[in-house]
Amino acid sequence: MKQQEKVIIWPAYFDSARSRSEGRKVHKSFAVPSPRISEIKEAADNLGLPNEVVADAGYSKTPWVKAGMLLVKKKGSKNQLVNTLAKQLARMRSASSTPKQSV
């Protein structure tokens, strides 16, 4: 993939503990506490988006925290992509926190 075909996705975009000025890009209702790069990668995989993890990258507002970043093939605008990933991530979190009923 060429650089212009990729979008950089940071875990901070989805963190409910951050404010918009601290880097959160999604609405609070779709944000999750302490998102991990592995969860975001799983969400991108579930959506069928080609992606690549850069594990030792630090977000510019907190460069000392090496939370990693995800490079995702660009489809549409970055804002649409981030919101789609946020909704998928929120669905995954809610599904994993819902206790399974025994039959």
Q: Classify domain 3-92 at the CATH class level.
A: alpha beta
Integer Rg of the chain from CA: 14
Helix axes of 78-97 and 37-46: crossing angle, nearest 10 degrees? 100
| CB-based contacts of 21, cutoff 8 Å, min separation 6 | none
Give CA–CA dist 60/9, Å, rounded: 12
Instruction: In the chain, count H helices and then E strands.
Output: 2, 3
Strands (E), 25-89: 51-54, 69-73
101 has pLDDT over 60 = no
Tokens 């988006």 belong to residue: 49
Q: What is the pLDDT of residues 7-26, one digit of tens each?
A: 999 999 999 999 999 999 99
Q: What is the pLDDT of residue 1?
A: 46
In this prediction, residues 74-89 reach a mean pLDDT of: 93
55: three-class secondary structure by DSSP? coil
Q: How confident is the model at residue 62 (pLDDT cuts 50, 70, 90)?
A: confident
pTM: 0.83
Q: What mean pLDDT value characterizes the chain?
A: 88
More confident residue, 3 or 76: 76
More confident residue, 82 or 103: 82
